[in-house]
Amino acid sequence: MADWCGDVIMGNEVTLKNKTILITAAGQGIGGASALACAKAGALVIATDINADLLAKYDGVAGIKTRVLDVTDGDAIAALAADLPDLDGLFNCAGVVHHGSILDLDDAAWEISLNLNITSMVRMCRAFVPGLLRRSQSEGTASILNMSSMASSEKGFINRTAYGATKAAVIGLTKAIAADFVAQNLRCNALCPGTVDTPALQGRIAEAPDPVQAEKDFIARQPMGRLSVVGDLTPTVVHLLSDNSSFMTGQAVLVDGGCTI
C-alpha cells in the first residue's frame, strides 16, 4: 500500500514522446510558448500560423515543423488535414479580442470574433477528429485543447461582449465534443487563462488612450498582483495534451491567478 500511495503522490513524468501535436497561432504568445514546451516534452509539433515570418524562428528547432495556415479558411484547413499524418493532440489557440460593449459591436466586428474565436475551432475539429479518433483507438487516448478564457461563462468583463460570448461558446463546444467521444478515448478540454503578458496584450495597452494606466488596470484585476506570463500556462497545456490527464475531459481549466475566486 505504501508503494502504491507513493506512486500516486509522486505521479509520472509528463511526456509527449511519440505524439504528433498541431498548434494554431503558434507564431508567438501562448501558442509559441506551447509549441516549444510540447517539443521539449518529446512531441513532434506542427506549428501553424497565418504569419510565415513569425514561423521562421522555428527553423532548425528540434521537434517542430511549420505550416502557414489561416484558420478562417475552411478549404485550407481541410487540405492541411489531408496532408498530415493523424494527430495525437490538437491545440486550437488562435483568437482575437474585440474591445467594446454591445453598443460598440457592429456586424463586421462580430463576424470577425465569431469566425476566429469559435468557427475556426469547429472547422479544425471537424477536419482533424477522424484522425484523432484513429489514434485514440490505436494508442489509447488522444486530446483536443481549445483556448477559452476566464472572460467567458466563468466571468463577465467590461468591454468584452464579443470576446466573452465567443469564449463561452468555446466551453460549450468543448463539452459537446467531450461528451460525443468520451467512450472512444478522445478527450477535449478548454484552457481558460487570466490576463497574459503577450505581444497581443502589449499591443492593446499601447493603443489605449493612457497606456500606463491601462497596464495598471490589467494588473489590478489579478488578485496575485501581476500579469500572467506564458510560462504559467505551458505546464497545463502539456499536461492536458499528455496521457497524464487521461481521466480529464470536458473541463474548463482556469489558470487565472485567482481572478474568478
Q: Which of 91, 163, 181, 218 is catalytic?
A: 163
Look up residue 86 and give its DSSP letter: P
Nine-digit cell at 71? 484558420
Phi then psi for residue 108, to 5 deg, are -65, -45
The size of the chain, in residues, is 261
Classify burial at 138, counting beta carbons within 10 Å of its beta carbon; exposed 0-12, middle 13-18, buried 19 or more.
Answer: exposed
240 near 189, Cβ under 8 Å?
Answer: yes
Integer CA distances (angstroms), 219 to 11, 83, 212, 214, in order: 34, 43, 11, 9
Phi then psi for residue 20, to 5 deg, are -105, 125
Phi then psi for residue 37, to 5 deg, are -65, -40
The reply to whether 58 belongs to the active site is: no
Helices (H), 65-157: 74-83, 107-114, 120-139
- Residues marked as catalytic: 163
